[in-house]
Chains A and B, each alone.
Chain A
Amino acid sequence: NAGVTQTPKFQVLKTGQSMTLQCAQDMNHEYMSWYRQDPGMGLRLIHYSVGAGITDQGEVPNGYNVSRSTTEDFPLRLLSAAPSQTSVYFCASSQPGTGVAFFGQGTRLTVV
């Protein structure tokens, strides 16, 4: 099915470990974004991209890196995981103008 594919669904990391959350979409959307969702905080924008080769910071970018080498893929990297990064992460894509956003299934990350 067309849509946003986000992997993995669950992950446990030790403090200091690194990992990459993968996000891919097959709808040729220009806009892609990463969010984290914490209890009582709601969703917060981490990083976003308006097209291949273009990325920018959102509300809570510290501790995360992104790149956008292709239209389809927008990986999120944690270089040195910290317990404060324990959260549920969502990737989304949309096409400017239509406004409809498609979300990945989410990744539940626990950093111990």
Chain B
Amino acid sequence: KNEVEQSPQNLTAQEGEFITINCSYSVGISALHWLQQHPGGGIVSLFMLSSGKKKHGRLIATINIQEKHSSLHITASHPRDSAVYICAVRYNNDMRFGAGTRLTVKP
């Protein structure tokens, strides 16, 4: 069983829809990261969370340490949000990654 599970694996939405991607993990962590991988392959760090909630533009990330769960929300989705979103957890200096959620936003 993967230590980091993401759902859904694939997600198709219409422009303007509210998007939620979920991440569950099974190990004690020091931090959780959300990454975005563009169709060209480049990876960008979106958030690092150790507790609570963070917001950047239309993106919101939350984490519940007790439940070992995090969510990434995208409000007013846009075709340019189409990418693979990856959840990663850090414990000590090691990192474990989810398999990613492929998001397609249609105009």
Interface pair B45/A58, CB less than 8 Å apart: no
Interface pair A102/B88, CB less than 8 Å apart: no
Q: Which residues of B are found within 8 Å of A94, using beta-carbon distances?
A: 45
Q: What's the nearest-Cβ distance from chain B to residue A107, in Å?
A: 10
Q: What's the nearest-Cβ distance from chain B to residue A21, in Å?
A: 15
One of A45, A48, A100 near B45 (C-beta < 8 A): A100
Q: What DSSP secondary structure best describes chain A's contact surface?
A: strand
> With the chains together, A45 CA to B50 CA distance in Å?
20
| Central interface residue in A44, A48, A88, A99, by most chain B CB within 10 Å | A99
> With the chains together, A35 CA to B37 CA distance in Å?
14
Interface pair A45/B95, CB less than 8 Å apart: yes
> Does B25 touch A at the CB level, under 8 Å?
no
Interface pair B93/A59, CB less than 8 Å apart: no
> Does A42 touch B at the CB level, under 8 Å?
yes
Given contacts A40-B99, A43-B86, contact A99 B94 (CB under 8 A): no
Contact with A along B50-75 (1 / 0, CB 8 A): 10000000000000000000000000
Instruction: List CB contacts (< 8 Å) of B66-107 with chain A.
Output: 86, 88, 93-100
Interface pair A59/B42, CB less than 8 Å apart: no
> Does A50 touch B at the CB level, under 8 Å?
yes
> With the chains together, A31 CA to B94 CA distance in Å?
11
Given contacts A90-B43, A103-B42, A105-B42, contact A44 B31 (CB under 8 A): no
Instruction: List CB contacts (< 8 Å) of A49-80 with chain B.
Output: 50, 56, 58-59
Interface pair A48/B99, CB less than 8 Å apart: no
| Central interface residue in B31, B50, B94, by most chain A CB within 10 Å | B94
